[in-house]
Structure 1
Amino acid sequence: MECNDSRIFNTSNPITYAVIERLFEFKYYYSKVHPMLSLLLCVLGLLANGVHILVLTRPRMRHSSVHTVLVCIAISDIGTMTSYLTYILRYEFYHNLEGYSYIWALFLKCHAMLSIALHAITLYLVVLMAFIRLSAMKISTSQWLDHSRALVSALTIAILVFIFCVPTLLAHQILETQREVDLSGFYFLYSVGFSDMMKKNHCFLMKGNLWLTGIFLKVIPCALLFIFTIALIGKLRENNEKRKILIKEERARRRGDLTTYMLLLMVTVFLCTELPQGILAILNAIYTTQISQYVYSNLADVLDVFSLINCFVAFLVYCFTSSKYRQTLFGLLPLTKIPYSGVSTRQGTLKLTSTQDRKGVIQRYNSLEVTNHAEIPLVLSERPNSAQPLTDF
């Protein structure tokens, strides 16, 4: 696409030329593994998010506003991976250089918009989740703890993002590539390209759409996520200091630090994968021709993989940070559906199936503690991990 705009790369410079050449070489070699890697990520991601929804919609989990947002994130991620899985199967494994039927060309046009919209929805929902958590930590009776309010907010975000993505849908058009004749008569093959409307006036509308995508769907949510997460980490540390003063329990401090580190991990993954794409989109709006030809064309598959990896983040973080989530997940497994009682210790919960076994473990544990002169109280709980603070995020 030639837009007669400014140049960012001096292709006559030997170093610049060598870097661009390496980018093309990278695309050539990586394109051989990208289809299989993407297929694997999509299949695993669909399974993970399906389990995620199943766990979060259990009776003991469904009335939390954070869990409501997480379900919406999982649905958005499933939409992202379903669309991309269809794209990979049809356009990578069964690629046709001559063109496709009109239905498949229409899908490709919609996929270009859906891939941007669904991932932007996920990013804004993560911002919403951080905001809800911060509000709940400041005010225990915050209205944002109402799961119906969270659901309405998530739906509003989805509608607004789809409205912002309408220009992306209009930026592409279905083009006729070939006309053939067979026994049934004429048939046509199609492909998808940039619309003539977007390329007029030196790609004025195309640049506007790139500015819109880069700023409102990438940079702004990343900035909001960074701000809310920094505030949330500060509030966590403040609460941990208060807890240390009140109960003087070292264990509470360590668990608070674990939650802080997992929050840092989550925001780091999203910022590292999304913020560069927003910056690239802005550069593409300024230097459309060269960025499209030399950068996007060579790194598009890698950016797609980053987006697919982000679809796992919520599931993995919640598995590591919420004991209640893990208990509900294990309870859904067929082999773990047995009468559950536990002994809460510093190391975790011991599953026991009989009163005699439980008493025996308690006696052995207490005798061991006396021998070691430990001061850790042993708590017999009516439900697993009842002595542990519940971490929802």
Structure 2
Amino acid sequence: MSAMFSEPNLTMAIFNTTWLSADSQTTENADTTMIDFQKNYGKVHGYISNIVCIFGVLSNILNVIVLTRRHMITPTNCILTALAIADFLTMLTYLVYATYFYIATEPKWEAHHSQGWMYFILVHNHFIITCHNMAMWFTVSLAVFRYIFVCHHVIGNRLCSLNRAILTITIIVIATIIVCIPNYFLYKVVPLRELGYNSSGYWIVDSVFVEEHDFYKVLIFWFFGVIMKVAPCILLTLLSSMIILTMHQASKRRVRLLQQTRSSDHDVNHEHNRTTWMLVSVVLFFVITEMPQGILAMISGLNDHFFEEIYSNLGDVLDLLVLLNSAVNFILYCIMSQQFRDTFKNLFVLHWMVQRQQYGKVNGHQNGISQYSTVVKTEVTML
């Protein structure tokens, strides 16, 4: 088989693809416990990841619907909308990937995969790396915007305007696509017969460019697998720490001035703090799910045996962490944002109740929610 299957650092940047090994295993020196774990978890990974992906796809659609209501359009929500779209696209293709390679078939060359499916995995890999990197930098921009608004409130409204948010999103999208171009030259699809196997299937191997330039794959691994994960996590941690410290100091000042503050101002400050805590939670959850993979990748780049024995066998688990990060935001919004909950309720729950009431009137009976009719119709119209 290709040297790709025996060399370390064969991670496709974001999502581990060590299943591309000819024998679908790590080297013979790998720890038996980790191999057994990888085998056992691999049997259920497709089902678990599908559940997470289905929930994430639906929840991110709801995120976009709620966050794009007219009264919800703000610079912060604009970035959150872009983040929801990136997460949606990440999980949409992974859903197809997991269904085929972990449920319908197996991630092994013996499954005789068709040429079309092998090209799909290449396109899926490039697409998901691009989308996930966009989501990562959307999260960083979200933290930067909130840091400026909380810690430099005087200039926050000017620097963190809606136009600047849209410009930031546009720059991230274009820059990410350009930066991810080097990934496109890593691999190619070949018939298994060219690799010495009597099979009609196809497989993925190093591209001719990689075979001629040994440093290229190592460079890509360090850039995407380590630098592009660890650096943003460190930046997000620092920004979150400064935001939390500033909020703590502001809270002390408000306590001292509480008796001189009007109740309405207190309510506004309370909702402002809840929004900030929600955004900090989004950022910190990203750090919690992304930092371990960056650290493990860094160690793997320095120690070949660690990659073979530990990192490669945790690939599916690391994938799942990324998927959880892409799916959890809807829950955080519902728990921590009163405005998001109210808008969601008005759009879906109360609107559904009005539709039921109108249906009941058509059929000549009341359904017990007439007292909500005027209020709900007004709220739905305002949205």
Partner of 1:59: 70
Out of 189, 192, 198, the position equivalent to 2:204 is 192
Partner of 2:24: none
> Residue 86 of structure 2 contacts residue 134 of structure 2 at CA under 8 Å; is this kept in 1?
yes
Q: How far 1:215 sits from its partner (Å)?
A: 3.8
* Letter in structure 1 aligned against 2:329: A
CA root-mean-square deviation: 3.3
Deviations 1:287-317 (A, max 9, x none): 3x43443233311110110001001232222
2: CA distance, partners of 1:120 / 1:240: 35
* Letter in structure 1 aligned against 2:210: M
Aligned length: 326
Partner of 1:21: 32
* Letter in structure 1 aligned against 2:205: G
Partner of 1:306: 321
Q: 1:148 to 1:338 in 2, by over 3 A?
A: farther
Give aligned-pair identity as a percent.
27
Structure 2 residue matching 1:192: 3-state secondary structure: strand
Q: 1:328 to 1:221 in 2, by over 3 A?
A: same
2: CA distance, partners of 1:335 / 1:264: 30
Partner of 1:147: 162
1: CA distance, partners of 2:158 / 2:270: 30
Report the TM-score, using the length of structure 1 for normalisation. Answer: 0.73
Partner of 1:210: 221
Report matched runs for 1:97-136 at 5 Å.
97-136=110-149
Q: How far 1:20 sits from its partner (Å)?
A: 1.8
Select the structure that is richer in helix: 2
Structure 1 unaligned residues grouped into runs of 5+ = 6-16, 180-186, 340-350, 355-381, 384-393
2: CA distance, partners of 1:78 / 1:105: 23
Structure 2 residue matching 1:100: 3-state secondary structure: coil
Q: 1:85 to 1:194 in 2, by over 3 A?
A: same
Q: 1:352 to 1:235 in 2, by over 3 A?
A: farther
* Letter in structure 2 aligned against 1:193: V
Partner of 2:362: none
* Letter in structure 1 aligned against 2:88: I
Q: How far 1:156 sits from its partner (Å)?
A: 1.3
Partner of 1:275: 291
2: CA distance, partners of 1:264 / 1:241: 19
> Residue 213 of structure 1 contacts residue 281 of structure 1 at CA under 8 Å; is this kept in 2?
no
Structure 2 unaligned residues grouped into runs of 5+ = 10-27, 355-368, 373-377
Instruction: Flag the structure with larger Rg.
Output: 1
Q: 1:153 to 1:261 in 2, by over 3 A?
A: closer
Report the TM-score, using the length of structure 2 for normalisation. Answer: 0.75
> Residue 97 of structure 2 contacts residue 121 of structure 2 at CA under 8 Å; is this kept in 1?
yes
After alignment, is 21-30 or 232-241 more displaced? 232-241
> Residue 42 of structure 1 contacts residue 81 of structure 1 at CA under 8 Å; is this kept in 2?
yes
Partner of 2:16: none
Partner of 1:366: none
Structure 1 residue matching 2:189: 3-state secondary structure: strand
Q: How far 1:3 sits from its partner (Å)?
A: 4.3
> Residue 112 of structure 1 contacts residue 168 of structure 1 at CA under 8 Å; is this kept in 2?
no
Out of 23, 33, 46, the position equivalent to 2:57 is 46
